[in-house]
Each structure stands twice: as structure tokens, then as C-alpha cells.
Amino acid sequence: VEFLYCDLASMKSIRQFVQRFRAKNCPLHVLVNNAGVMLVPERKTEDGFEEHFGLNYLGHFLLTNLLLDTLKQSGTHSHNARIITVSSATHYVGKLHLNDLQSRCSYSPHGAYAQSKLALVLFTYRLQHLLTANGSHVTANVVDPGVVNTDLYKHVFWVVKLVKWVTAWLFFKTPEEGASTSIYAAVSPEMEGAGGCYLYNEERTKSADVAYDEELQRRLWTESCKMVGISDESSRVP
């Protein structure tokens, strides 16, 4: 096991991480996009992005795109490389505001968090479409870990914290239990060659209807490329 530092809230840090990783000339068979913040007060990343959107979504969008070539080189016909992105059931109530992705008009911690998690599902579906179109031996899936007892809840109201403290043993998953679906997506033989899936409790299930809007997927992808400063190679793919 080797640790390489990467701050998903910093585009510079992500690019430096990718450079260090590539310098090792290692294959990359599994990428799990798992970093996140939840319900933080209104604030920005060092690049000026609203923190939920910048860290939860754009950081993973840039990291995945910069590592795509390595993933494609590592996957084979019988053993695809796998990209697993962790979203949340909150995406079901999320709304994507393409004209205000930074939540500048009216900031709501809940709304911003839900939007970032919806963006991750839209991104995964568009990514799988592009990988399939290019004949790449890489799959992309999105995971809902469920309600997990972690420090992700440190910004919720004190009443919610109290309820969580009292009921966590009954209603919340342990971190190990919360990781199980991500691990399933990463290593299960049953998921070999399967992409574009939304997984919950190690089963394929249906995501929010809006997540299947291919035009919205395309528009978000194009706008995301502009925001992180990479070329939009998908423009040639319908």
C-alpha cells in the first residue's frame, strides 16, 4: 500500500497527483471516486467553485478524465478497468441548475449537496456512453452507499447530531457496511463488463428519472470541461 496526497478541492493538487502517479508507470485497474463534503456552509474552493460542486463533483470529474488514458491502457477484453463513483440517495431530490451550478443566486446546503450528487450520476452515465462509443475496456458505475455513520454529518444541526448519536446503531450502516457496494462494484465477477449501472446494497436499481436525460448529460459534461480547463473530446460523439 502506498499513499499519494491529493486534495480533491484543488485542481492544482489533482494535476500534481496525476503527474506523480503517471511517473510510476503503474497500471490502474480500479478508481473509486469517494471524497465528499455534506451540508457545509457557503464557501468556495481555492479555484472559486462552490465547495459541494467543486469537491464532490468537479474534483472527481477532472481526476477521472486525467486518468482515463491510463485506465484504458490497463483494461483488457476479459478484465475491464473499473471506475466507481459514490453518489447518494439525495440525488433523487437534486436539481441541476446549469445556469447557476455554483449556487450563487440562492445558496442552500441541502440543495447544493443534492445537486453535486445528481451531477455525479449524470457524469457516470455520460462517461459510460463515451467509453462504449470508443470501444474502451473500461466500465463506469455509480454507487449509493446508504446512510453511513461517518464524520460526513459534522455540519448538520445539533438536533440531528443528537438523533444520529442515539439511533446510529439501529439506522446507520458502519463504514465497513457502507463500503460494501463500492467494493462489490470494484471487484465482483458479476460486474465484469457491466457499466452505466446505479447500485444500492450490491444490486442494480433505478436512479432518478432526470439522470437518464442524455441532453442534460451532454450539457453538463461540456460545461464541466470548460470549468476545469480540459478539452471536450466528447463533442464528436452523439
Of 57, 92, 113, 125, which is the active-site residue? 113
DSSP string, 142-180: EEE--SB-SGGGTTS-HHHHHHHHHHHHHHSBPHHHHHH
Give the HSE-up count for residue 28: Cα atoms under 13 Å, Cβ half-sphere: 22
Measured in degrees and rounded to the nearest 5, phi and psi for residue 84 equal: -120, 125
- Angstrom distance (rounded) from CA 90 to CA 168: 19
Active site (annotated) includes residue 153: no
- Angstrom distance (rounded) from CA 23 to CA 101: 34
The helix or strand, by DSSP H or E, that contains position 130, with its residue range, turns out to be helix 109-133
Active-site residues, by number, are 113
